[in-house]
């Protein structure tokens, strides 16, 4: 089968959830299909300036076709972006009360389609040669990664009916409420990272007949020998960007409360890129960025991974911790994280500092429970989110 994977940027050193997903997807599919990645010559997503050479190359065993960007982010887009967000911070949006988000949805439903499309196209990248290539090249399937950009929105219009699939990586964020996205996504088979995302698709676009299912993702599960149950874990671990948008402020607040009411409180170790003012203090150990081996070692030895971010679209750190047989403690408002906890039986979801204190007390006092949760987490990741499981699902979706 000749398959194209379309993504707005692609290549070594280009960081981003969708870009990484596209690389993993293309790498796996190329084992049993004729795969090409179609992308732009941009490396960054603000100006989308042409930095990489246009044309065809072979990268990590995958054929990549890059098309020039003729229109980056338009000056006019700033006004449309302000109008769309209307005072909302995109990253804090998911935590707003339901009635506020419903009002936002009503407001955007009233936007004329031309205005919605001006927002989508205005953010760039505009790569007409990519769409012309899609129109003239008979791919058996075209898989678009991420819903937001014109590479997907206009690309979908260039692909014959029945051949398009989209991994939308939808978040509960202001632009996702633009109804034209729903109409365009309805022309494709949609592949969610989680059940939560599949549900979100239907909630966001209630009038559309969407064909959605969970395809998930695949992470490299560490060899089983690397995972063991520490005898007396003495610290909680946070992993990920150390940022207000990742729930770290709330985590520090809950941790302070925890120290006041729990005897011999465990330390809190934070690892990841530091993106907010925070210092080591009173049991808090800010390590910053650590390499992968150290990250996995800390995950293995922690009492639990605590992650209170409400915005995760996949929650890879939780899956990594589970693969190390470490229980996870997440915020009850994070639907994706709660889904992982529910489906795996390897985590607990919390509403406040008291529940955090109770969960820690239970995990400390009940090694058997901790062991059982760790085992369930490992099995969940192997079954649902390992590279092998992902490949098996892809083989079922697109048989060789």
Partner 1 sequence: MPSLQRGDATGNDALGMHAALVSRGWDVRLFAEGGDRTLGFGTSSEARSFLRDGAAALFHQGTQWDNGVRIFERASGVRIARDHNVTPASFFAGVSDDFVGASNVGLAQRERLARDPSIAWIAASAMNAGELVALGASAARVAVVPPFHQAEELAAVEPDEAALRRWVALPADVLFVGRLAPNKGHRRLLRIAATYAELFGRRLRIRLVGSHDRRWAPWLALLARDREQLRLGDSIEYLGTLSTAELKAAYLTSRMLLCCSEHEGFCVPLVEAGRLGVPVVATWQQAVAETLGPDALVLRDADDDVVATAVHRVLEDGTLRDALVAAQQARYATRYAPAAIERAFLAAVEPLLRAEPSR
For binding to partner 1 (CB under 8 A), which residues are involved? Answer: 74-76, 78-80, 82-83, 110-115, 117-118, 157, 179-180, 183
- Rounded to a whole number of angstroms, the distance between the first and last alpha carbons of the chain is 7
Whose Cβ is closer to partner 1: residue 151's or residue 326's?
151
Q: How far is the CB of 155 from partner 1 (least distance, A)?
A: 14
Q: How far is the CB of 126 from partner 1 (least distance, A)?
A: 11
Q: How far is the CB of 132 from partner 1 (least distance, A)?
A: 10
The strand ranges marked E within the chain are 2-6, 34-40, 55-59, 62-67, 141-145, 164-167, 189-192, 211-214, 235-239, 267-271, 284-288, 304-307, 328-331, 347-350
Phi/psi of residue 159, each to 5°?
-110, 135
Whose Cβ is closer to partner 1: residue 15's or residue 110's?
110
DSSP state of 261: H
DSSP state of 161: T
Whose Cβ is closer to partner 1: residue 123's or residue 326's?
123
Q: How far is the CB of 91 from partner 1 (least distance, A)?
A: 24
Whose Cβ is closer to partner 1: residue 202's or residue 253's?
202
CA dist list (Å): 104 to 118, 144, 212:
18, 27, 24
- Nearest 10 degrees: CA dihedral of 329, 332, 335, 340? 30
Whose Cβ is closer to partner 1: residue 78's or residue 288's?
78
Whose Cβ is closer to partner 1: residue 110's or residue 279's?
110
The answer to whether the CB of 39 falls within 8 A of the CB of 10 is yes
- Our CA angle for 273, 21, 309, nearest 5°, is 45
Q: Who contacts 285 (Cβ-Cβ below 8 Å, separation ≥6)?
A: 235, 267, 268, 269, 270
Q: How far is the CB of 276 from partner 1 (least distance, A)?
A: 32
Q: What is the C-alpha separation between 212 and 152, in angstroms, rounded? A: 17
Q: How far is the CB of 32 from partner 1 (least distance, A)?
A: 35
Whose Cβ is closer to partner 1: residue 132's or residue 261's?
132
| Residues found in the chain | 400
Q: How far is the CB of 77 from partner 1 (least distance, A)?
A: 9
The strand ranges marked E within 219-309 are 235-239, 267-271, 284-288, 304-307
Q: How far is the CB of 162 from partner 1 (least distance, A)?
A: 16
Q: How far is the CB of 76 from partner 1 (least distance, A)?
A: 4
Whose Cβ is closer to partner 1: residue 76's or residue 354's?
76
Whose Cβ is closer to partner 1: residue 55's or residue 207's?
207
Residue 13: exposure state from Cβ atoms within 10 A (0-12, 13-18, ≥19): exposed
3-state secondary structure of 394: helix
Whose Cβ is closer to partner 1: residue 24's or residue 186's?
186
**380 closest CA partner among 330, 341, 349, 337:** 341
Q: How far is the CB of 354 from partner 1 (least distance, A)?
A: 45
Phi/psi of residue 214, each to 5°?
-90, 125
The answer to whether the CB of 385 falls within 8 A of the CB of 217 is yes
């Amino acid at each position: 089968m000749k398959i194209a994977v379309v993504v707005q940027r692609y290549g070594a050193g280009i960081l981003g959830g969708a870009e990484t997903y596209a690389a993993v997807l293309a790498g796996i599919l190329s084992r049993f299909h004729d795969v090409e990645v179609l992308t732009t010559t941009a490396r960054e997503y603000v100006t989308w300036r042409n930095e990489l050479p246009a044309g065809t190359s072979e990268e990590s065993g995958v054929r990549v076709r890059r098309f020039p960007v003729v229109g980056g982010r338009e000056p006019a887009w700033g006004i449309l972006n302000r109008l769309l967000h209307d005072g909302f911070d995109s990253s804090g949006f998911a935590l707003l009360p339901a009635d506020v988000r419903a009002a936002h949805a009503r407001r955007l439903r009233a936007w004329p389609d031309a205005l919605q499309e001006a927002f989508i196209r205005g953010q760039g990248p505009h790569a007409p040669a990519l769409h012309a290539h899609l129109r003239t090249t008979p791919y058996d399937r075209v898989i678009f990664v991420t819903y937001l950009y014109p590479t997907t929105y206009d690309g979908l219009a260039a692909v014959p009916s029945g051949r398009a699939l989209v991994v939308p990586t939808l978040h509960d964020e202001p632009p996702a409420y633009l109804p034209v996205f729903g109409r365009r996504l309805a022309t494709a088979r949609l592949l969610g990272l989680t059940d939560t995302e599949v549900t979100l698709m239907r909630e966001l676009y209630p009038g559309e007949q969407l064909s959605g299912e969970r395809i998930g993702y695949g992470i490299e599960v560490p060899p089983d020998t690397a995972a063991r149950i520490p005898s007396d874990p003495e610290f909680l671990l946070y992993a990920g960007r150390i940022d207000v948008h990742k729930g770290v402020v709330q985590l520090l607040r809950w941790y302070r409360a925890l120290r006041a009411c729990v005897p011999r409180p465990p330390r809190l170790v934070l690892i990841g890129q530091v993106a907010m003012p925070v210092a080591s203090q009173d049991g808090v150990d800010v390590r910053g960025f650590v390499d992968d081996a150290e990250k996995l070692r800390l995950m293995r030895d922690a009492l639990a991974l605590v992650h209170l971010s409400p915005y995760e679209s996949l929650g890879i750190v939780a899956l990594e911790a589970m693969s190390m047989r470490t229980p996870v403690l997440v915020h009850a408002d994070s639907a994706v994280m709660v889904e992982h906890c529910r489906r795996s039986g390897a985590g607990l979801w919390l509403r406040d500092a008291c529940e955090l204190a109770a969960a820690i007390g239970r995990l400390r006092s009940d090694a058997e429970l901790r062991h059982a949760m760790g085992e369930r987490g490992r099995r969940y990741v192997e079954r649902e989110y390992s590279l092998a499981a992902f490949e098996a699902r892809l083989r079922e979706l697109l048989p060789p």
